[in-house]
Structure 1
């Protein structure tokens, strides 16, 4: 059923994506503040996103829906959706200045509502503009300054604003203020598409879709910087129906000192672990061994009981009969685990070899700024880089892939991954069969 997914390896039928627009330009003005990993070429990033869409459609027969186009098309046919879109856009558009001038601007906007196309209101949601008006000398003279308040520069990571579970779509409540408004937009889209909404994170909960992976008889749910304890609680109460849920605690990286995880090394489960088939998973064994797992069993719908099992993600997955293809630290940091499973044994992978140098250079900068925290990690990554340049075999071109029967279709996503995410993060899967 569309809007419900039971297993990550079931054949992918439909995804929703968002091709980044002007909001990405805003994000690149300060990549770090925008939660991007590094600076990159926006023109090339958009072109890479086009290639991702085209590959899914033409090579694999996946239905790819652009979020903005789908919402616009539905709104033009359904007045209730159109009204909801316009109302939401007007609620985030603000005017500031002399009261009379502000009132006049608002009145003109409302008077001209029917003249605007639906993309106009979608762009308002993406940019969240505030218009500052100030009179100047002379007839019709006006100083106008437009600012953008928390533009949705990460919206193209369409995995995170919701988790598609066996019960439907569970709406996220994003951990970071830069991303807090994204689920408001995607929830409007899912409602317009008549997809089942199982629930949503509320109150003090934070929960993000990159922390959820369905695995047929059980599911993984991350717990850490992006999905907190309350988010886990609410997901178990209304978001999932699996008989077993393994709550995976964000691991400390052994090469980074301190008692706090680096949120940009392994912020979501899918940044260090992913599923390639019904028998094989791929991940950083270093992190899998350090990721503690609590196992919950369903007593009745909405009521899960924590077992007394104490294990880690590596041992838990092995106990389920899965083989593990191990990633090095540098491969993991180069988004190797953030592939998209197309069907059982076939994945759409990132050409990690094209990214590792950028990742290494970024780590060199971080280690220079904070050598005590990142020095050991940099030393290890440098060793791995030397090995790769000498022998090759960077993911997905590893013999273990062939040994486990995994077919990898490789894409160059060198620029767009600079926002911190790959093909998995950039796709909201809404149907698998």
Structure 2
């Protein structure tokens, strides 16, 4: 059986088992989201400056998926400065909070009654959990929630609805039998502490936005928040990853007529198959980079590999040479209405060389300091975080790369840097089409 036929049979069996997860949807006329290549000029970006939700994460960093202890206050200040720097580069930056609250508050902070506020209120109510001790019947629980929504939730200001979304509160009611209110509550929160890593909830292909499915329990609801925000911006996702798929945006890098997608710790083969079946990439070639190591310090493709130009990339040293950590690639080529597997098992560095991409090796300490997690603004111009070595910066400049250094001293404590914190929704393709 030839390889092309085998690949097609695999896709047919996959569809038979789980169905076509989604079909491509038409883009909204109000915003044309799409990214052709990492080296195209960034035009629109979605970010989230962390707020009250981050504080809970720094109380126990490991439980929040963070790398180390840091200050949530200073992290927020660093992010605000970074947003200003993005705007100074001519990028239109949309804050997630602004998108979610769009149409619900005026310039003076007063709420605006109407469909937008009603929709926000219904959405935010999904993030509240109400329970009683002892537990009540299902019908009583429904009545409790309806009563709470009617009497309490309807009075919340949009700012408080935002707090509800990012804190994800749980309220457990207990009767006291006293002569006061007769009830007491225990309050708990399950905050979305990683929300400022806006790269991960979706991927932006040349066809549009695909909503992912987060690998970690702590991050599951982030995709719901981002999807709601996209709707407020007039962006209709072209698809949504379904079980058993896992897809996080840090594993995706568009590169013109091809894309790189990592298969490893956070993104699995099931999600990649869904994307192939739906033709969500819109490219002639799909390069699946298969990570044999799968460790937290290099959890996503963009933590050990990145694109600076159409012929220049960064790659961590432990992914080069004869290291057992060197990824291999499966290369899929467009064939009619689908893809066929063209090659499998080639070492990643060899593949990059075969397509004319030069590699700047990134030493271990620079990789640990997020030297690979750069944000490419346009061809040969990047943002990189402070803390990488002078030697690494010199290598970049020797390769004619314009380097903008930003302070992420606290933000990197969450296990990410420049690329992780920005979802570029639109890039302007270079005039020469590269």
Q: TM-score, normalized by length of structure 1?
A: 0.83
* Equivalent residue, structure 1, for 2:285: 244
- Where 2:275 maps in the other structure, the secondary structure is helix
- Where 2:416 maps in the other structure, the secondary structure is coil
Alpha-carbon distance between aligned partners in 1 of 2:407 and 2:259, rounded to the nearest angstrom: 30
Alpha-carbon distance between aligned partners in 2 of 1:242 and 1:80, rounded to the nearest angstrom: 39
* Equivalent residue, structure 2, for 1:143: 184
> Does residue 393 of structure 1 match 2:390?
yes
Alpha-carbon distance between aligned partners in 1 of 2:237 and 2:198, rounded to the nearest angstrom: 16
Runs of 4 or more consecutive aligned structure 1 residues displaced over 4 Å after TM superposition: 75-81, 98-106
* Equivalent residue, structure 1, for 2:13: none
Alpha-carbon distance between aligned partners in 1 of 2:116 and 2:341, rounded to the nearest angstrom: 41
> Does residue 281 of structure 1 match 2:313?
yes
Shift of 1:288: 4.7
> Does residue 20 of structure 1 match 2:50?
yes
* Equivalent residue, structure 2, for 1:164: 204
- Where 2:102 maps in the other structure, the secondary structure is helix
> Does residue 216 of structure 1 match 2:241?
no
- Where 2:419 maps in the other structure, the secondary structure is coil
Over the aligned positions, Cα root-mean-square deviation in angstroms equals 2.1
The gaps in structure 1 that reach 5 residues or longer are 253-260, 354-391
> Does residue 268 of structure 1 match 2:300?
yes
- Contact 2:194–2:219 (CA<8 Å) still a contact in 1? yes
Alpha-carbon distance between aligned partners in 1 of 2:142 and 2:351, rounded to the nearest angstrom: 60
Please point out which of 352, 358, 363 is paired with 1:317. Answer: 352
Please point out which of 397, 402, 426 is paired with 1:431. Answer: 426
Of stretches 211-220 and 66-75 in structure 1, the one that deviates more from structure 2 is: 66-75
> Does residue 421 of structure 1 match 2:420?
no
CA 96–112 in structure 1, closer or farther in 2 if over 3 Å, else same: closer
Please point out which of 325, 335, 341 is paired with 2:376. Answer: 341
* Equivalent residue, structure 1, for 2:28: none
Shift of 1:271: 0.4
Please point out which of 402, 405, 409 is paired with 2:400. Answer: 405
> Does residue 65 of structure 1 match 2:94?
yes
Shift of 1:135: 3.0
* Equivalent residue, structure 2, for 1:357: none
Please point out which of 71, 82, 98 is paired with 2:117. Answer: 82
The CA deviation string for residues 272-306 of structure 1, in whole angstroms up to 9 with x for no partner, is 011112221112132155011110011134x2111
- Contact 1:277–1:406 (CA<8 Å) still a contact in 2? no
The gaps in structure 2 that reach 5 residues or longer are 1-30, 106-111, 429-434
Alpha-carbon distance between aligned partners in 2 of 1:162 and 1:79, rounded to the nearest angstrom: 29
Aligned residues: 381
- Contact 2:101–2:120 (CA<8 Å) still a contact in 1? no
* Equivalent residue, structure 1, for 2:74: 44
Alpha-carbon distance between aligned partners in 2 of 1:300 and 1:146, rounded to the nearest angstrom: 56
> Does residue 178 of structure 1 match 2:225?
no
- Contact 2:42–2:426 (CA<8 Å) still a contact in 1? yes
* Equivalent residue, structure 1, for 2:330: 294
Alpha-carbon distance between aligned partners in 2 of 1:73 and 1:93, rounded to the nearest angstrom: 21
Q: TM-score, normalized by length of structure 2?
A: 0.83
- Contact 1:251–1:287 (CA<8 Å) still a contact in 2? no
* Equivalent residue, structure 2, for 1:375: none
* Equivalent residue, structure 1, for 2:23: none
Alpha-carbon distance between aligned partners in 1 of 2:113 and 2:149, rounded to the nearest angstrom: 22
Alpha-carbon distance between aligned partners in 1 of 2:387 and 2:308, rounded to the nearest angstrom: 16
Of stretches 223-232 and 132-141 in structure 1, the one that deviates more from structure 2 is: 132-141
Shift of 1:92: 2.5
